[in-house]
Structure 1
């Protein structure tokens, strides 16, 4: 849930959805018009910086990035893939 909360905070403060916009875990960020292609790049930059992961070009697809739920699951998978190797560096 911390991942989703951080993503929600970034999206709502960066893209200013407005008072009447409902952003839940299933809301399509693209179809709703909340973010565009430039916004996707900003979102990827935030994800890489905030969560210490690398988003590959092949991973920039709606299945990974189009809603809070999908984003949180994607970040969790990427962090899990880092495994103990990444933790050993800390």
Structure 2
């Protein structure tokens, strides 16, 4: 498991899963479809990404294609980090 994947899974588990078993969350599960994260949760998720990885998430990047699963988040974060390199 990559460091980013581990950090994202830990954040989601600690902040959104509450009583659910974190192991039950698959990396490609949609946060919105499963009800794990709502619109307010997306803002928390963005704040985590910006703080943890020192990147800026633009308004036009606030789309499910970037933020709606662990796999999508990993891909998005890795692309943002490549932009900084």
Same fold (TM over 0.5): yes
Structure with the higher fraction of residues in helix conformation = 2
Distance 1:30 1:21, change over 3 A: farther
**Aligned-pair Cα RMSD in Å:** 1.4
Structure 1 residues 30-87: Cα deviation after superposition (integer angstroms, max 9, x where no partner): 100000000000000000000110000000000000000000010000000011xxxx
SS at match of 2:52: helix
Instruction: Give the match for residue 32 of structure 1.
Output: 34
List structure 1 runs of 4+ shifted beyond 2 angstroms. none
TM-score, normalised to structure 2, is 0.92
3-state SS of the aligned residue for 2:34?
Answer: coil
Q: Normalising to structure 1: TM-score of the pair?
A: 0.87
Which blocks of at least 5 consecutive residues in structure 2 are unaligned? none
